[in-house]
């Protein structure tokens, strides 16, 4: 520590006004500092002061809260607590007894000791609940954590009163103290704890108690966590010892601090109620006044919880995301849910919330997210069961799932991963770790979505290619003028129908149809009218055709009609109907009405005899016969 600071503290001590133990308490401290001191010697010395002995026995029972036989003697107390803890307890009780009041008018001694006792009880309960330290030692550190303020009020009573009167004292007390006295109350506390022989860790915690972010502890290590818990205990004490209006203003911040140290609302209520009961018990022992308090859950429910009141805006959060995610946050604790939702939204993500697994499934069904952050322990359906149900739906298989747990046991993690979890986060969630895990998840989600986009694009290309091929095939087999199948299609289809007829022993026939005097029509009225004539005949043939018949244009003015399951007599009747249908369709040109006619040559075969080529050749010959017979007729034999 800086030499000038140490010298200044020695000057404080030299004036003889520092808060310090007296009488038997001082003798206990001096005796306990000797290496060869026994528990019997300490017990005999304490018994010389019956009042102090009574307070130590009662304090020991409060600290240990042992089931079964209570501590009934000083010897039991020293044996159970140990010489070191008894030494610190005697010191604390002596200070409370001797400094319940003082000359500093601006300093509220009763509230100071109420806050100190509450801080000690809170630290004791939190450390015991979180299993991160020794509960009775935590109480003593919490009790003495702000003894530096009492020191300034004792040594510089008038000057400190003027400091406390300044408007900035509520928010900037440490800077005002340093300007006035060269030291602030946190540094003085650390120096006094060192002077009283308390552990170095206690001194460092006291030094950074109000600004834990300034400590040199590494985040996540045990000492860092202890500092955070004592900081939280101090804020809990502030809530319990403030006036109602101020109390409800402080509660949102308390809930934020609880989430940072991994204390959920249910646990916070349990700790809060134990602190309130403990405060009532210790107030009798320490002879200090404490405010009457409602049940802790009632206090929490009466406070408005918003990101602004919790101070989340000042919380170091995730960096702005370059790839925004749709996130579903599943958490039943409203403070934790609000904290993480705010942090994620500050990073640019779109966040919806659910309070349990069942609500989460409904939310996924309504709008599937890209990523889910789910607590493990929840009512109705926990996080692992929710994940199992989620993975039953193949459509949700790509959703990236984080599970949040307070346990990192191998068995628990294996259970989570086997349920379909992709990654996990441990409580309390560190915003920096959350940001890093999110970036990792973002990369995976981006790759998945890029792969899906590539797959969809390839599928689109394949569909478009298939459609193009189909269109090309249709163009290759379709006559552009009439829309009928062309010669290539006609030959392929006739071969297919011939093969079917051959296998089944069924009849088949085909017709060659030719427009009469078509060259004369072209020469007289022009090719555009000739095209109209072709389209008219094609439409007439299409309308007269049966469902199973195929009408094709072979080229020029020639058409082919394929008739499956049709013998020669039936084919002849059908041919005549086609011929009459064409003749019945008038065609207007230059104010005149023309009636087109066709000649038809019919050929029928009953497989297995004959062939496709022979049948077409025969139909062509009979077409020429129809032309020779005067046109507008059908020749079938």
Measured between alpha carbons, how far is 571 from 296 in angstroms, rounded to an integer?
A: 99
- CA-based angle 275:279:283, to the nearest 5? 170
Please tell me which residue in 557, 558, 576, 621 is annotated as part of the active site: 557
Please state, in angstroms and rounded to a whole number, the distance separating the CA atoms of residues 189 and 95. Answer: 14
- Count of CA atoms in the C-beta half-sphere (13 A) of 174: 11
Q: Cα–Cα distance between 320 and 439 in angstroms, integer?
A: 11
Query: Cβ distance 536 to 486 under 8 Å?
Result: no
204 neighbors 186 (Cβ within 8 angstroms):
no
Contact yes or no for 185/146 (Cβ under 8 A): yes
DSSP codes joined into one string, 101-127:
S-S-TT--HHHHHHHHHHHHHHHHHHH
Identify the H or E element spanning 327.
Answer: strand 326-330
Non-local CB neighbours of 550 within 8 Å, separated by 6+ positions: 485, 490, 493, 497, 561, 562
Q: Distance between CA atoms of 533 and 515, rounded to whole angstroms?
A: 9
380 φ/ψ angles, rounded to the nearest 5 degrees: 70, -60
DSSP, residue by residue, 257-309: HHHHTT--HHHHHHHHHHHHHHHHHHHHHHT--------HHHHHHHS---HHH
DSSP state of 67: S
Give the β-pairing of 598-605 and 508-515.
Answer: antiparallel
Read off the DSSP letter of residue 221. S
Give the list of residues 6+ apart from residue 431 with CB closer than 8 angstroms, or none. 315, 316, 317, 318, 343
How far is C-alpha 60 from the chain's CA centre?
A: 47
**380 belongs to the catalytic site:** no
Bridging pattern class, strands 558-564 and 371-375: unpaired
Torsion of CA 441, 442, 448, 454, to 10 degrees: -170
CA distance readout (Å), 171 to 166, 167, 174, 305: 10, 9, 9, 22
C-alpha distances out from residue 558 to 129, 318, 361, 513, 554, Å: 99, 78, 67, 6, 6
Closest to 148 measured CA to CA, from 82, 73, 76, 95: 95
3-state secondary structure of 397: coil
Please name the residue ranges forming H helices in 425-511.
431-476, 487-504
Distance (Å, whole) CA 327 – CA 401: 10
Active site residues: 557
């Amino acid at each position: 520590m800086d030499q000038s600071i140490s010298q200044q503290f020695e000057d404080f001590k030299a004036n003889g006004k520092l808060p310090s133990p007296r009488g038997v308490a001082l003798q206990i401290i001096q005796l306990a500092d000797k290496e060869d001191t026994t528990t019997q010697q300490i017990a005999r010395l304490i018994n010389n002061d019956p009042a102090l002995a009574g307070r130590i026995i009662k304090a020991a029972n409060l600290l240990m809260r042992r089931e079964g036989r209570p501590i009934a003697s000083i010897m039991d107390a020293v044996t159970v607590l140990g010489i070191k803890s008894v030494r610190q307890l005697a010191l604390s009780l002596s200070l409370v007894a001797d400094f319940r009041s003082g000359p500093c008018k601006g300093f509220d001694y009763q509230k100071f000791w109420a806050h100190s006792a509450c801080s000690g009880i809170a630290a004791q309960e939190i450390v015991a609940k979180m299993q991160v330290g020794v509960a009775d030692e935590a109480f003593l550190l919490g009790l003495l954590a702000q003894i530096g303020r009492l020191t300034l009020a004792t040594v510089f009573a008038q000057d400190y009163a003027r400091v406390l009167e300044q408007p900035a004292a509520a928010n900037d007390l440490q800077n005002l103290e340093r300007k006035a006295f060269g030291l602030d109350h946190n540094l003085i506390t650390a120096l006094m704890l060192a002077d009283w022989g308390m552990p170095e860790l206690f001194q460092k915690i006291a030094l950074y108690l109000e600004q834990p972010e300034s400590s040199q502890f590494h985040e996540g290590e045990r000492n860092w966590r202890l500092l955070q818990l004592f900081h939280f205990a101090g804020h809990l004490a502030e809530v319990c010892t403030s006036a109602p209006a101020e109390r409800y203003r402080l509660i949102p911040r308390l809930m934020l601090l609880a989430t940072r140290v991994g204390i959920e609302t249910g646990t916070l209520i349990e700790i809060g109620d134990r602190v309130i009961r403990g405060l009532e018990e210790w107030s009798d022992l320490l002879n200090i006044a404490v405010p009457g308090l409602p049940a802790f859950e009632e206090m929490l429910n009466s406070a408005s919880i918003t990101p602004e009141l919790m101070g989340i805006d000042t919380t170091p959060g995730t960096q702005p995301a370059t790839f925004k995610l749709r996130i579903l946050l599943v958490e039943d604790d409203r403070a934790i849910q609000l904290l993480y939702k705010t942090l994620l939204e500050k990073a640019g993500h779109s966040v919806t919330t659910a309070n349990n697994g069942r609500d989460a499934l409904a939310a996924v069904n309504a709008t599937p997210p890209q990523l889910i952050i789910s607590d493990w322990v929840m009512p109705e359906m926990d996080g692992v069961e929710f994940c199992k149900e989620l993975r039953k739906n193949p459509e949700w298989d790509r959703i990236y799932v984080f599970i949040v747990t307070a346990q990192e046991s191998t068995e628990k993690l294996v259970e989570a991963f086997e349920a379909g979890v992709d990654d996990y986060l441990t409580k309390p969630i560190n915003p920096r770790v959350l940001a890093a895990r999110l970036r990792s998840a973002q990369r995976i989600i981006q790759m998945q979505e890029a792969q899906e986009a590539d797959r969809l694009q390839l599928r689109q290309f394949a569909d478009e290619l298939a459609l193009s091929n189909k269109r090309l095939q249709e163009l290759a087999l379709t006559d552009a003028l009439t829309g009928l199948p062309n010669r290539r299609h006609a030959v392929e289809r006739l071969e297919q129908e011939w093969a079917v007829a051959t296998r089944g022993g069924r009849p088949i026939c085909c017709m060659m149809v030719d427009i009469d005097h078509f060259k004369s029509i072209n020469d007289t009225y022009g090719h555009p009218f000739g095209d109209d004539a072709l389209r008219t005949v094609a439409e007439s043939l299409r309308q007269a055709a049966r469902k199973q018949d195929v009408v094709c244009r072979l080229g020029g003015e020639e058409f082919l009609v394929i008739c499956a399951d049709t013998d020669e007599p039936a084919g002849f009747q059908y041919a005549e109907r086609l011929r009459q249908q064409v003749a019945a369709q008038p065609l207007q040109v230059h104010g005149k009405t023309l009636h087109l006619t066709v000649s038809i040559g019919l050929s029928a075969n009953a497989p297995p005899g004959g062939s496709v080529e022979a049948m077409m050749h025969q139909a062509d010959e009979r077409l020429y016969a129809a032309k020779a017979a005067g046109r507008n007729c059908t020749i079938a034999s």
